[in-house]
Amino acid sequence: MSANPGAIGGAFARCRREKRAAFIPFLMAGDPDLEITERLAVALAEAGADLLELGVPFSDPIADGPVNQAAANRALKSGTTLARTLDLAALLRAPLGIPVVLFTYFNPIHAYGIERFAEHAARSGVDGVLCVDLPPEEAAGDYLDSFHRHRIDPIFLLAPTSTRERVRGVAAVGSGFVYYVSRMGVTGERGALPDGLAREAKELRRRLALPLAIGFGISTPEQVAAVAAIADGVVVGSALVRTIEASIGRRDLVERVASQARALATATRRSR
């Protein structure tokens, strides 16, 4: 089974019709093990997730803060690899019913082989790939060719420091959506959203045809509601991963994460 072309765009379009932003939770595949990740993913979809961002554990996650770094270490210790993450995506495709986006670094893809990775990802039903350390100008050639051939959306990051040239580059070659990093630095929960975020989002949405999802540092329903008012999608990662970490060994781990996700998903509904 290949990836469903347009599934990501379709999810954002449905959210627009329902007057809400897309809720995009993040899970690290294999944290604390693949069986629990599978159960968590299904629970998040049932709790209101519109897309699932599935992290590929990597030994040098430079864009991740301490919480997600620890999750990656737990996943690696549990034996999770890129290949096993893709196999998990295949298991999830039918029960989830929502698009799956892989969050990864380029090193695992390069080691696996770009064409082999794209083929396996498509066969597993992966809809998009966000390679956080690969800028659009370096994706030209084999990377984009393989993704287009297998109908996988290449998703790229923009940040407050992104130049006009970078914005144009992402707009030219990206598809699915654009991931906007709300602040400089690594992933992790923050007490408040950065000043100027609404202005930056408005300017980017004016210049981009693709949906704009905002992540990094969003952790509470109040923060989700604020971002939902200015963006097409809201990504929440570290807050959920922290709950997983705090709940390892507990019988109610999945329900604790699902309860948190339900509150976050509810907050994506706009008042007007």
pLDDT for 224-244, tens place per residue?
Answer: 999 999 999 999 999 999 999
Q: Which helix (H) or strand (E) holds 83?
A: helix 82-96
Query: For residue 185, is pLDDT > 60?
Result: no
3-state secondary structure of 212: strand
Residues 53-58: what's their mean pLDDT? Answer: 96
Q: In this predicted structure, what is the pLDDT of residue 47?
A: 98
Residue 188 has pLDDT above 50, yes or no: no
Q: Residues 125-149: what's their mean pLDDT? A: 96
Whether 184 shows a pLDDT value over 60: the answer reads no
Query: In whole numbers, what is the pLDDT of the chain averaged over residues?
Result: 92
What average pLDDT does this structure show over 165-182? 94
Residue 166 dihedral angles phi and psi, to the nearest 5°: -65, -40
Predicted confidence at residue 196, as pLDDT, reads 87
Percent of the chain with pLDDT over 70: 94
Q: What is the pLDDT of residue 36?
A: 98
Task: Provide the phi-psi class of 185: left if phi over 0, else alpha when psi is between -120 and 50, else beta.
Answer: left
Distance between CA 111 and CA 234 in Å, rounded?
31
| pLDDT tens for each residue of 13-35 | 999 999 999 999 999 999 999 99
Check the CA dihedral 181-185-190-194 and report its sign: negative
What mean pLDDT comes out for the span 28-55? Answer: 98
**Confidence (pLDDT) at 143:** 97
Q: Please name each of the domains of the chain with its CATH number.
A: 7-266 (3.20.20.70)
What pLDDT, on a 0 to 100 scale, did the predictor assign at position 2?
33
* Residue-level pLDDT at 192: 66
Whether pLDDT at 5 is above 60: no
pLDDT above 80: residue 191: no
Angle between helices 66-77 and 238-247 (to 10 degrees): 50
Instruction: State the angle between helix axes of 197-207 and 164-173 in degrees (0 to 180), rounded to the nearest 10.
Output: 50
The span from the CA of 166 to the CA of 233, in Å, is 21
Residues 58 and 196: their CA atoms lie apart, in Å, by: 32
- Residue range 57-78: average pLDDT? 89
Q: Considering 31, 50, 53, 153, which one is annotated as catalytic?
A: 53
- Catalytic, 53? Answer yes
Give the mean model confidence (pLDDT) for residues 120-131: 97
Q: Quick one: pLDDT at residue 272?
A: 59
Give the pLDDT of residue 233.
Answer: 98
Residue 19: its pLDDT value, please?
A: 96
152 and 128 in contact (C-beta within 8 Å)? yes
Global pTM?
0.93
Can you tell me the mean pLDDT for 122-131? 97
Q: Does the active-site annotation cover 222?
A: no
Mean pLDDT of the region 85-100? 97
Catalytic residue selected from 31, 50, 64, 200: 64
Question: How many Cα atoms sit within 13 Å of 7 on the Cβ side?
Answer: 22
